[in-house]
Amino acid sequence: MTSGTLITVAPTGAESAKADVPALPVTVEEVVATARDCQALGAAVVHLHVRDAQARPTLDLGYVGEVVAAVREATDLVVQLSTGGAVTDPFDARLAVLDAAPDAASLSLGTVNFGRDVFSNPWDLIVELHTQMQARGIVPEYEVFDLGHLATLERLLDRHGPPHGGHVHADLVMGVPGGMPGTAQALAACLPHLPQGATFAATGVGRTSLPVMLTALAAGGHLRVGMEDTLTYAPGEPVRDNAQLVARAAGLARIAQRPPLGPAEARSLLGIPRTSVEATP
Ligand code: KMH
Ligand code: ZN
């Protein structure tokens, strides 16, 4: 069991509108401020979705590169870009995000219903993301929305080799309407299917945040929290900001006697060197 807890903050996501959630960080300044606050409270990784000048989700490399550079400048956090984007994003644009040369990037392991939408991740896209990340020295975080996605991970590693850095880290994204439920039983069912030597984090969407977080800590796992996944702190109480969610996760990790890892410890766990290749201009 890993002694400390890796806390990832996913501050923005692609699903919520700024007009509906005024506290959502969408500008470069807001994202940087949130990233700084969350690092101070115990986050070591930031999972980024980027917004344009109208606060709409975008994969435009101009916007993406600007946020990556600004967060790197202001924090020591591991910068993990989403290659999932929004459900409407085309595959080529999702792949092109890797041109921004983040430290890490998410890699979703299968297609899943996403509320009324479909989050499409066919095998060829999975392989392309995996092999491009290997070639570019970007560390993947494998996103698992359902148990079958772990069978896909096993097949991927078997056919295409380990990720850059050699360490496999998966995030169980639980409670998406269409994916596996955010329950202790579902999390426990995933554990025997993780590759040997892999670490895992878990994310409980919406009201599954707390049960998933508590189960993950008990099982030796790591945590992802943030306004991408959770907008209600307690019944009837909207989340104030990302820092509030990171503070709660860090507090629970300390109670579990697995205190938050700092960014340097996170890099060593994930196999990420301190200085990654600079983004291509
Ligand atoms: N926005 C979701 C459709 C990821 O970042 O890799 C997909 C997602 C996963 O958030
Ligand atoms: Zn995401």
Given a cut of 80, whether residue 226 has pLDDT beyond it is yes
**Domains parsed from the chain with CATH numbers:** 7-274 (3.20.20.70)
- 107 C-alpha vs ligand 1 centroid, how far in Å? 9
- Per this entry, what is the length of the chain? 281
- Separation of 85 CA from ligand 2 center, angstroms? 7
Amino acid at 186: A
pLDDT at residue 278, as a whole number: 42
Report residue 231 as tokens: 């907008």
Q: What is the 3-state secondary structure (H, E, C) of 258-269?
A: CCECCHHHHHHH
68-77, 191-200, 272-281: the lowest-pLDDT one: 272-281
Task: Give pLDDT, residue 137.
Answer: 97
Position 174, amino acid: M
Ligand 1: atom nearest CA of 85 is 1
Tokens 């060593």 found at: 268
CA-to-CA dists, residue 141 to 41, 68, 255, angstroms: 22, 17, 26
pLDDT of residue 280: 38
- Could you identify the atom of ligand 1 that is nearest to the CA of residue 143? 6
pLDDT, the chain, mean: 96
Nearest ligand for residue 83 CA: 1
Q: Is 86 in the pocket of ligand 1 (CB under 6 A)?
A: yes
For residue range 106-162, what is the model confidence (pLDDT) as tens digits? 999 999 999 999 999 999 999 999 999 999 999 999 999 999 999 999 999 999 999
Q: Assign 273 a pLDDT band (cuts: 50, 70, 90).
A: confident
Instruction: Tell whether ligand 1 has an atom less than 6 A from the beta carbon of residue 87.
Output: yes
Coil, helix or strand at residue 169: strand
d(CA 144, CA 174): 8
Instruction: Tell me 184's DSSP state.
Output: H
The pLDDT tens digits of the residues spanning 158-179 come to: 999 999 999 999 999 999 999 9
The pLDDT assigned to 275 comes to 60
Q: What does the pLDDT look like over 23-80, one tens digit per residue?
A: 999 999 999 999 999 999 999 999 999 999 999 999 999 999 999 999 999 999 999 9
Q: Nearest residue CA, atom 4 of ligand 1?
A: 84
Residue 180 scores a pLDDT above 70: yes
